[in-house]
Structure 1
Amino acid sequence: MTLAEELRSRNFSIYGQWTGIICMVLCFALGIANIFHFSIVIVFSVICLVSSFIILFIEVPLLLRICPTSSKFDAFIRRFATNYMRAAVYGVMSLVQWLSLIVDTTSLIAAAVLLLFAAVFYTIAGVKGQGFVGSKTLGGQGVAQMIV
């Protein structure tokens, strides 16, 4: 299945997964960009950076097989296998970035909005009863078994 076919599938978990990949890149970039503030915003930018790496391991399951990680970290990441759990983790990450607005208005609001979109996509997939379907492009369904 190509990327275009995946996006036409009307499966909201695919939309959530690809939005998550965009969130990962955005969180990494905004985390670095906002780390140079001389206020408590530094804490939120570090959280945003950490969120980008958590998203990377959640959305690209192949990395759990090829990267040397601890068994505790693997167990933590594997908790987010369902649409509702992914919606919850994206919702929490979004809430943290929304809370950064209390301190100062920064570009972290873009990460908050996009993380919220990912949470909404996963929530819709859960409500519609769509099972989580990982993108084959990102190492889902069969790709990890072919490599290892």
Structure 2
Amino acid sequence: MTLADEFRSRNFSIYGQWLGVLCIILGFALGIANIFHFNLLILFSIILLVCSFILIFIEIPLLLRICPTSAKFDVFIRRFTTNYMRAAIYGLMSLVQWLSIIVDASSLIVAAVFLMLAGVCYALAGLKHQDFVGSKTLGGQGVAQMIV
């Protein structure tokens, strides 16, 4: 299945996964860009950087096989294999970034919006009873088994 075929499948978990990859990129970029504020936004920037690091392992399962991680971290990451659990973690991460508005309106709002969109895609996949389907491009079904 090619990338175009994945997007044509109308499976919202694929859309959520690719929005998650976009959230990883935005998270690192915006987290670093906002870490230079001299107020409480530093805390929200650090949280966004940590969230981006966690999202890398959630969205790109191939990395769990390649990178040496602890057993506790692997168990934590493997909790997010269903659409509802992924929607929950994205919703929580989005909520934290929306709370950054309390301190100051900044570009962290962009991260909050995209985290929310990814969470909505996963929630829609769950509501439509679509099975979670990982993108083969990101190391989903079949790719991780070929490495071992």
In the alignment, which residue of structure 2 is the partner of 1:134?
134
Q: Which amino acid aligns with 1:135?
A: S
* Structure 1 residues without counterparts, runs of 5 or longer: none
The alignment partner of 2:36 has SS state of coil
| Aligned length, in residue pairs | 148
Q: Which amino acid aligns with 2:73?
A: F
| TM-score (normalised: structure 2) | 0.99
TM superposition outliers: structure 1 runs of 4+ over 3 Å: none
| TM-score (normalised: structure 1) | 0.99
* Structure 2 residues without counterparts, runs of 5 or longer: none
In the alignment, which residue of structure 1 is the partner of 2:65?
65
In the alignment, which residue of structure 2 is the partner of 1:37?
37
Q: Which amino acid aligns with 1:138?
A: L
- Measured after TM superposition, the shift of residue 40 of structure 1 is 0.5
In the alignment, which residue of structure 1 is the partner of 2:113?
113
- Measured after TM superposition, the shift of residue 44 of structure 1 is 0.1
Rounded to whole Å, the distance in 1 between the matches of 2:20 and 2:54 is 10
RMSD: 0.4
Rounded to whole Å, the distance in 1 between the matches of 2:121 and 2:147 is 29
Rounded to whole Å, the distance in 1 between the matches of 2:97 and 2:84 is 20
In the alignment, which residue of structure 2 is the partner of 1:22?
22
Rounded to whole Å, the distance in 2 between the matches of 1:27 and 1:58 is 14
Rounded to whole Å, the distance in 2 between the matches of 1:137 and 1:100 is 33
In the alignment, which residue of structure 2 is the partner of 1:88?
88
Rounded to whole Å, the distance in 1 between the matches of 2:99 and 2:113 is 12
Rounded to whole Å, the distance in 1 between the matches of 2:4 and 2:26 is 22
